[in-house]
């Protein structure tokens, strides 16, 4: 008798969902975000780690002994920034690809803004099955223009799948890789970027966040990076991919991508947590950054 493979399970996806739920319930202005679906999903999460974390994650406004400092602030800032991207997608955007979707709910929350788009949620089959089961349990029906695409990024099937889609120069595409890249092997990340650089479409924009390569190699900074690395390694989801500081534009060049907006942790603090008097209300971990980029198409 052969042993049945253990289903894939992402503890970090659960944690992000719980942090988004906490943010939705915030009374503090700079920590408030609008992902009400995460609240509904969080009630149905019943893994051992999610139950253990719930009392801490959802119960305190201040210091949280279950989380390395700066992670919550990072998730809040990232959620708010990406939500704004969905509110301001370029006119004519026709395809939206959410890679490593986890418990992302934007295809539902922004269905009015996305009503003229085809939306693709791409994730591991086991993760996607579990998400759809939870959505059914809480009576959330996604719009008909949303497609759930079971993909395992470790076998490079993303390239084969998207090449089979009938894209044309008239299509304007947006790719979202939120909280994904650091968990990929470097070659997997490069394969995804190469695929995006080659798809047969017109304008292509993408957002992804990433860790610094120095942190991946063990050169920790000053704000609990070691604790963060240890946390994700403990739950079996170690960070594997990073980009060296101050080299982002050079890194993107082979993939015909130019930077439209780039944010370090200090930029996030200034943009998301600093009031008019210059007082910062939240500190973001130093080991991460994000980028909004656009593909350079040949004339």
Mean per-residue pLDDT, 101-128? 96
Structure tokens, 238 = 């170690």
Higher-confidence residue of 236 and 77: namely: 77
Query: What are the residues facing 123 on neighbouring strands?
Result: 150
Mean per-residue pLDDT, 150-169? 91
pLDDT at 168 over 50: yes
In percent, the amount of the chain with pLDDT more than 90 equals: 71
**Sorting pLDDT into bands at 50, 70 and 90, what band is 273?**
very high
Question: What's the number of CA atoms in the CB half-sphere (13 Å) around residue 206?
Answer: 26
Higher-confidence residue of 18 and 121: namely: 121
pLDDT at 241 over 90: yes
Question: CATH for 91-295?
Answer: 3.40.50.150
> Measured between alpha carbons, how far is 272 from 57 in angstroms, rounded to an integer?
20
Residue 61 pLDDT: 58
Does the pTM surpass 0.85? The reply is: yes
Condensed to tens digits (0 to 9), the pLDDT of residues 176-226 reads: 999 999 999 999 999 999 999 999 899 999 999 999 998 888 766 555 666
Extended beta strands in 237-282, E state: 242-243, 257-263
Q: Which long-range contacts (CB under 8 A, 24 or more apart) does 31-36 make?
A: 31/61, 31/73, 31/76, 31/281, 31/282, 33/76, 33/79, 33/80, 33/83, 34/83, 34/109, 35/79, 35/83, 35/105, 35/109, 36/109
Structure tokens, 192 = 């995804």
> Measured between alpha carbons, how far is 122 from 242 in angstroms, rounded to an integer?
22
Residue 265 pLDDT: 94
In percent, the amount of the chain with pLDDT more than 70 equals: 84
> 3-state class of 108 per DSSP?
helix
> Measured between alpha carbons, how far is 134 from 41 in angstroms, rounded to an integer?
7
Residue 6 pLDDT: 62
Residue with tokens 């500081």: 245
Higher-confidence residue of 228 and 299: namely: 228
Structure tokens, 219 = 């050169």
Query: How many CB atoms sit inside 10 A of residue 116's CB?
Result: 9
Mean predicted lDDT score pLDDT of the chain: 89
> Measured between alpha carbons, how far is 68 from 230 in angstroms, rounded to an integer?
9
Condensed to tens digits (0 to 9), the pLDDT of residues 280-290 reads: 999 998 889 99
Condensed to tens digits (0 to 9), the pLDDT of residues 45-82 reads: 876 566 656 665 666 555 565 677 889 999 999 999 99
Residue 1 pLDDT: 43
Residues contacting residue 252 through CB under 8 Å, at least 6 positions apart: 193, 258, 259, 291, 293
């Amino acid at each position: 008798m052969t042993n049945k493979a253990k289903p894939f399970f992402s503890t970090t996806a659960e944690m992000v969902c719980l942090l988004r739920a906490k943010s939705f319930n915030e009374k503090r202005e700079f920590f408030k975000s609008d992902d009400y679906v995460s609240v509904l999903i969080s009630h149905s999460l019943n893994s051992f780690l999610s139950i253990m974390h719930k009392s801490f994650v959802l119960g305190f406004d201040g210091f949280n002994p279950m989380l390395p400092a700066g992670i919550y602030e990072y998730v809040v800032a990232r959620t708010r920034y990406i939500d704004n991207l969905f509110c301001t997608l370029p006119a004519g955007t026709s395809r939206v690809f959410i890679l490593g979707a986890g418990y992302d709910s934007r295809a539902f929350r922004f269905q009015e803004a996305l009503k003229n788009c085809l939306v693709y949620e791409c994730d591991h089959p086991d993760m996607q099955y579990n998400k759809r089961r939870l959505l059914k349990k809480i009576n959330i029906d996604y719009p008909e223009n949303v497609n759930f695409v079971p993909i395992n990024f470790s076998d490079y099937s993303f390239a084969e799948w998207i090449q089979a889609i009938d894209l044309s120069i008239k299509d304007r595409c947006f790719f979202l890789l939120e909280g994904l890249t650091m968990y990929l092997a470097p070659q997997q990340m490069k394969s995804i970027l190469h695929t995006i650089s080659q798809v047969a479409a017109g304008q292509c924009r993408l957002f992804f966040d990433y860790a610094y390569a120095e942190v991946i190699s063990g050169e920790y900074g000053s704000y609990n990076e070691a604790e963060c690395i240890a946390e994700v390694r403990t739950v079996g989801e170690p960070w594997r991919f990073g980009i060296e500081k101050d080299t982002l534009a050079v890194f993107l060049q082979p993939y015909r991508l130019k930077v439209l907006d780039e944010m370090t942790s200090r930029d996030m603090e200034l943009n998301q947590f600093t009031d008019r008097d210059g007082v910062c209300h939240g500190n973001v971990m130093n080991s991460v950054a994000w980028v909004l980029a656009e593909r350079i198409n040949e004339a």
